[in-house]
């Protein structure tokens, strides 16, 4: 527990890890992907968790599910929102998909995207890694929610959500 607290206290800055150009590339990738399908994709990043959450031993998955709810990623007409979530202090990557994707996308498919993203981030090019992950999520969504199912309104913001 002490090691985790120290990681969170000394976590890297989101703005340093993701400069403005990278955040814009992520926004552009989400917008381009959403033109190819009827789903909604969000990206959220959090440097660290508050001490109270660490004391309660909140897992990265629980933090991602909380962000999914807080950001209203579930608030789409077809229940097909997907959140790509990073918790920098824990080096954690989580993908949370809304109930409209249950039974359509296997957990192993989400895990494969997380594995590709993790490898890309470790390779030192977060922008390319995230754009690839967004494209992979968009490919899955396009297979189940083609562009013809797209709503005329963009239910969720395309811009990265910086939490914490």
Would the pLDDT of 8 be above 90? yes
Count of structural domains within the chain: 1
Q: What is the pLDDT of residue 152?
A: 66
Residue 18 sits in which domain range? 2-163
User: How far apart are the C-alpha atoms of 104 and 125, rounded to whole Å?
Assistant: 31
Model confidence band, residue 164 (pLDDT cutoffs 50, 70, 90): confident
Would the pLDDT of 153 be above 90? no
User: How far apart are the C-alpha atoms of 26 and 49, rounded to whole Å?
Assistant: 23
Q: Hey, what's the torsion of the CAs at 97, 33, 159, 65, to 10 degrees?
A: 10
Q: What is the pLDDT of residues 60-116, one digit of tens each?
A: 999 999 999 999 999 888 899 999 999 999 999 999 999 999 999 999 999 999 999
User: Which of 96, 91, 161, 157 lies closest to 129 in space, CA to CA?
Assistant: 91
Q: What is the pTM of this model?
A: 0.94
User: How far apart are the C-alpha atoms of 149 and 136, rounded to whole Å?
Assistant: 19
DSSP string, 20-77: HHHHHHHHHHHHHHHTSSSSEEEEEEES---HHHHHTT--HHHHHHHHHHHTTTT-ST
CATH number reported for the structural domain that contains residue 66 in this entry: 3.10.310.50
Model confidence band, residue 150 (pLDDT cutoffs 50, 70, 90): confident
User: How far apart are the C-alpha atoms of 60 and 54, rounded to whole Å?
Assistant: 10
């Amino acid at each position: 527990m002490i090691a985790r607290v120290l990681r969170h206290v000394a976590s890297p800055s989101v703005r340093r890890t993701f400069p403005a150009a990278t955040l814009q590339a992520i926004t552009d990738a989400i917008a381009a992907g959403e033109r190819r399908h009827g789903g909604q994709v969000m990206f959220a990043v959090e440097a660290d968790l508050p001490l109270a959450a660490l004391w309660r031993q909140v897992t990265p998955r629980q933090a991602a599910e909380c962000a999914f709810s807080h950001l209203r990623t579930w608030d789409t007409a077809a229940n097909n929102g997907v959140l790509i979530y990073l918790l920098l202090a824990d080096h954690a990557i989580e993908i949370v998909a809304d109930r409209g994707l249950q039974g359509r996308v296997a957990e192993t498919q989400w895990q494969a995207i997380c594995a590709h993203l993790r490898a890309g981030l470790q390779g030192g090019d977060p922008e390319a890694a995230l754009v690839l992950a967004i494209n992979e999520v968009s490919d899955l969504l396009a297979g189940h929610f083609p562009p013809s199912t797209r709503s005329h309104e963009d239910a969720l913001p395309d811009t990265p959500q910086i939490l914490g």
